[in-house]
Amino acid sequence: MAFRDATASVAKGLVAGAAGTAAMTAFQMVEMKLTDRSASTAPAQAVETVLDVEPTSEQAEQRLSNVTHWSYGTGWGAVRGLLGAVGVGNKGATGALFALVWGSGLTMLPALGIAPKPTEWGAKALAVDATMHAVYAGTVSAVYEALDS
């Protein structure tokens, strides 16, 4: 396994993470329009729970949710960069990133009391959520590989 410059790999990963977050956000916007679902405030609720803060308005909560969503998604790109730095191939890194990101969402939100356990979601909701995270992981890896070539 070849090791590469971790700093450069993480920087590329952060750019790729932002691109993946943009792709995931676009997917979510289309899905919300098709299903008439409103935007989730789960990212804001997670920050509110962990940091014991309370936004002063619905608008402030939506801003917190957006900042959290973008920061979280961009930050996970660093993990993709580290996987690349230690020589994990694109397919393996994409699968690992998908498992880590989706797995953390499936466990963290229920653990914080923000979402029900995945066993209570139903097949359609799980499929949409898995697809959304696959779009994210696939985009992050594609952008990372493009930047790294």
DSSP secondary structure of 71-97: HHHHHHHHHHHHHHHTT--HHHHHHHH
Evaluate if residue 141 carries a pLDDT over 80.
yes
- Digit-coded pLDDT (tens) for 58-77: 999 999 999 999 999 999 99
- Digit-coded pLDDT (tens) for 103-114: 999 999 999 999
Evaluate if residue 12 carries a pLDDT over 70.
yes
Evaluate if residue 95 carries a pLDDT over 90.
yes
Measured CA to CA, the distance from residue 95 to residue 45 in angstroms comes to 28
Evaluate if residue 2 carries a pLDDT over 80.
no
- At residue 1, the pLDDT reads 46
Three-state secondary structure call for residue 53 = coil
Residue 38: band (very low, low, confident or very high) from pLDDT cuts 50, 70, 90 = confident
- At residue 108, the pLDDT reads 94
Residue 40: band (very low, low, confident or very high) from pLDDT cuts 50, 70, 90 = confident
Write the CB contacts of 83 (distance below 8 Å, at least 6 apart in sequence): 92, 93, 96, 97
